[in-house]
Structure 1
Amino acid sequence: MRHFYRGDGAPPPPWPLRRAVMAAKRRAMEDFCERWESGGAGVRQWRRRTAGTAGRPE
């Protein structure tokens, strides 16, 4: 990930901030899927993704 951020010369954002932004995006996507098809495949997939990344270190 550091190579990605080095492209513009700026340091990467702190991990807690990146993790919070990713979590918010996952929640938003899960909410969208829930509105589209309550309890559907999309909802289940976003829940699996959230569970799989919840404790991931940087």
Structure 2
Amino acid sequence: MTTNKTTSSPLDNAPDDIKLAVDLIYLLESNHIDPRIALNALKIVEDDLRKKIAQQ
């Protein structure tokens, strides 16, 4: 008889912001995005999110 063990990752218990960061890093790396372009894009995203937070 074989047992079906589910393996857990340290990421399973990580905070949501860490999980999102890991997902974003994976997305950027798997799509071979130039790190300079990624940083510029992330600055734009950060500015947009800060504006949205300020409007709340």
Same fold (TM over 0.5): no
CA radius of gyration, larger in: 2
Q: TM-score normalized by structure 2?
A: 0.45
Length-normalised TM-score, structure 1: 0.43
Taking CA–CA contacts closer than 8 Å with sequence separation of 6 or more, which of the two structures ends up with the larger relative contact order?
1
